[in-house]
Every structure is written in C-alpha cells, then in structure tokens.
Amino acid sequence: MSTAPTAADLDAADPLAAYRDRFVGTETPLVYFDGNSLGRPLRVTGPRLARFVDQEWGGRLIRGWDEDWLSLPERIGDELGRVCLGAAPGQSVIGDSTTVLLYKLVRAAVALRPGRTEIVLDRDNFPTDRYVAQGVAAECGLTLRWIDVDPAGGVEAAQLEEAVGERTALVLLSHVAYRSAWLADAPRLTRIAHDAGALVLWDLCHSAGAVPLALDAWDVDLAVGCTYKYLNGGPGAPAFAYVARRLLEDPAQPFVQPVQGWIGAADSFAMGPDYRPAPGIRRVLSGTPPVVGMLALQDMLALLGEAGAEAVRAKSVALTSYAVTRAEERLGDLGVRLVSPRDPERRGGHVTLAHPLMREVTERLWRRDVIPDHREPHGLRVGLSPLSTSFAEVESGLEAVRHELDDLRA
C-alpha cells in the first residue's frame, strides 16, 4: 500500500481549500488547467459589474471621472503594489496592455542609458517581449544580445554575467518563463544587471498573483505584467507597470516614456499647448483609463490580500509538486517528459509535460471539459491557479490525459 497522501487527503488538509467556492464554475466537474492564461471570474464580480453600470456609470455619469475614476490607475496600482508586488505606493499603475507598457518602458529605459547600445534578452522569452525589443532596437539603432536557454529551464546567473557589459542599456527578462515555468532568481539577476551599469525590466505576467514579489527589496528598476492571468481581471483587462521611485524622481535624468498623452500630463484639464509630464508614476499613463476593465481585478486583489501571498505560494508549490509526482507516476510509462524545473524553488505556478501527441491530446481534452493548453513544441501546459484549483482537479485532469494519450497511441 502506498502511504503517499491522495488528492482527497491534500484537499482536506488545504487551509485555502474554501477559496475555490468563490470562483464561478468550480461547482462543476470541469477541470481548468489554464488559470495561468485566463483566470476564472470571481462570483462577486458579476454583481459588481452590474452595480457599476446601474449606479456609478448610470448614476454619476461624467461626474464619475472626478469623483473616482481618474485616480483609479494609481489607487489600484498602489493596492496591487501592496498585495502582490512588494512595492511601496507611488510606483505602480494600471493601464494599456502588457505589450504597450513594455514598449513604453523599454523606450524609457534605453533613453536613461544614453551611449549604451544593447538590450539583453533570452530567446525563450514570450513573443511579444521579443517583438517589442526588436521594434525598439530598429527604432533606436540598438543591438539585441540573445541568451540561449534550456527549454526546460531558463536564464541562469552565469549566462547573464556573460551577456552583460558596458554596452548593455537594459536587461529584459520574464520572472516566470511562460513555457517551462522556470522561476528566475530575480534579486540575483537584477544585481548582475546593475553591476554592469544596466537597468532591468521584469515581465511578471506569469508570476503576479502566484509567486510572492519584493520589487522594492530586490532593487528592481522596471516591471510590467498582465492582470487577466493569476489576477483574474478578465479577458483583455488592462496591464500594470512598476517604475522604481528613484527613477521617477531623479532630477538629473527625467523619466520620459514615448506615448505622451493628456492623461499622463501634469494638468490634464488645463488643455495646455505643450506636454509636461505628471509628477511620479502617473506619467506612464497616456490616454483615458480603462475603468470597466479594472473592476474584476479589484475583487481578486481583495481576495489575494485576504489569503496572503505566502500562503498562496505554499498552495501553488503543493499543487505543482503533486502534478509533477502524479504525471511521472501515471504518464511516465507513456513517454511523457517533464519540461519544467523539478526543484519547486525554481518553478512558478504551472507545469509543462511534453509528448509528440500533446496537440491532439489537448484538442480531445477540450471537448471533454478538461482545459489545459498546448505550447509548441509538444508541450501540454498544466496551469494551477492556486486559489481556484483543487488537488482532486489535478488528479482527474491527469487521468484524462492518460486516457486520451493511451487511446491515441493505440
């Protein structure tokens, strides 16, 4: 008899188990392995959206801007900073998409390092990060210096040490790799970039809401991330940006981003002849804030604040560790390989399993309400959003993978 705890044992002992009921759809047998791509909605979010339409938008009308909405990007940014980012107030803001914020901050960063000609990044970074860097390099006459990484891992300290130097303006990295789930050693890599005189920009899309962050303590310069993955903000919810206060307040070098719009200007309603940036983080904004898109995010921040970042991470590690163990026990003999770090210290909130038939397996799973995603090449990505996923869900999802794979191989 095996003495390893079963999924039912782990669910019974999980101090965060009750949070699962707060999400829409968790009462059904559907297995959701994609909360790292689009988080489930909270049950309170539907009524909140309806209330907003009826009372705030419908009742306050244009008065809503002055009364509440214009300051939301900074207020929710501060809340996100407190709950998830380890950021003191005045450094985080909500708006745009991750891609657009990446562009703004990459441009701002290279402008802060005049004379330096290179951006360092890795070949396995998310496509939009690489494409934005390519665009800025073409626009500003810079060179990209690429780091090659192990597809089951990510950027290591020794690799970054070798890549950076006196030409490096910016290091652009993901904190958790979207494919392998490699969790980069952010404080150490940040120090390596700084020792070379470069700035660092962390993409937090796959870590915010699942992995505790300490941007101030790590001395990070810049960060961006989306809010529709582990922050459950809903499809197309706006992104966030972090800029360290020391960069915003340096009198010798103003912080300038390239999309100068009226909402990021010093006095939006003076309608003055020339752009003057707003003081502080507000200058990262450009146009009218996406107010409706920030409502669901507020609900999830409240929930994460209640659960606590360390407890959320502990559950996340327990879920991914269970998935790794069970995948090897149940799928190893079918030729499935783990292409994520085995060490939980180096692993984010998902696990990727490789087999040449995973594309077909994913198509079949979606038809039977088991929803992972497929990432080239041959990867089945099992995303385990900590507060909305149970151990029983992991078990039945992996059992379904076994069933479909077995069937396809027959």
Cα torsion at 383, 336, 126, 382 (round to 10°)?
A: -10
- Piece of 4-12, 80-88, 92-100, 150-158 that binds ligand PLP (CB under 6 A): 92-100
Pair 90, 78: CB distance under 8 Å: yes
Pair 383, 352: CB distance under 8 Å: no
Under rule CB under 6 A, residue 34 binds ligand PLP: no
d(CA 224, CA 108) in angstroms, rounded, equals 13
Footprint of ligand PLP on 284-303 (CB under 6 A): none
Pair 233, 304: CB distance under 8 Å: no
Q: Which residues of 90-107 are buried (b: 16+ CB within 10 A; e: fewer)?
A: bbbbbbbbbbbbbbbbbb
Under rule CB under 6 A, residue 206 binds ligand PLP: yes
Footprint of ligand PLP on 218-237 (CB under 6 A): 226
Shortest Cβ distance from residue 319 to ligand PLP (Å)? 19
Under rule CB under 6 A, residue 381 binds ligand PLP: no
Shortest Cβ distance from residue 101 to ligand PLP (Å)? 8
Identify residue 405 by its one-letter amino acid code.
L
Under rule CB under 6 A, residue 175 binds ligand PLP: no
Identify which of 261, 270, 306 has the alpha carbon closest to the alpha carbon of residue 22: 306
150 is catalytic: no
Under rule CB under 6 A, residue 103 binds ligand PLP: no
Under rule CB under 6 A, residue 242 binds ligand PLP: no
Shortest Cβ distance from residue 349 to ligand PLP (Å)? 12
Under rule CB under 6 A, residue 134 binds ligand PLP: no
Pair 292, 362: CB distance under 8 Å: no
Residue pointed to by tokens 């303590």: 217
Q: What is the DSSP letter of 126?
A: -
Under rule CB under 6 A, residue 178 binds ligand PLP: yes
Q: Which of 23, 33, 228, 391 is catalytic?
A: 228
Shortest Cβ distance from residue 173 to ligand PLP (Å)? 10
d(CA 385, CA 350) in angstroms, rounded, equals 8
Among 98, 362, 389, 390, binds ligand PLP (CB under 6 A): 98
d(CA 347, CA 349) in angstroms, rounded, equals 7
- Piece of 38-46, 121-129, 326-334, 401-409 that binds ligand PLP (CB under 6 A): 121-129
- Piece of 104-112, 122-130, 254-262, 288-296 that binds ligand PLP (CB under 6 A): 122-130
Shortest Cβ distance from residue 131 to ligand PLP (Å)? 10
Identify which of 368, 335, 372, 330 has the alpha carbon closest to the alpha carbon of residue 350: 372
Among 74, 118, 124, 203, binds ligand PLP (CB under 6 A): 203
Helix %, strand %, coil % for the chain, to 5?
A: 45, 15, 40
- Piece of 91-99, 157-165, 258-266, 318-326 that binds ligand PLP (CB under 6 A): 91-99
Residues that bind ligand PLP in the complex, under the rule CB under 6 A: 97-99, 126, 128-129, 174, 178, 203, 205-206, 226, 239
Active site members: 126, 203, 228-229, 381
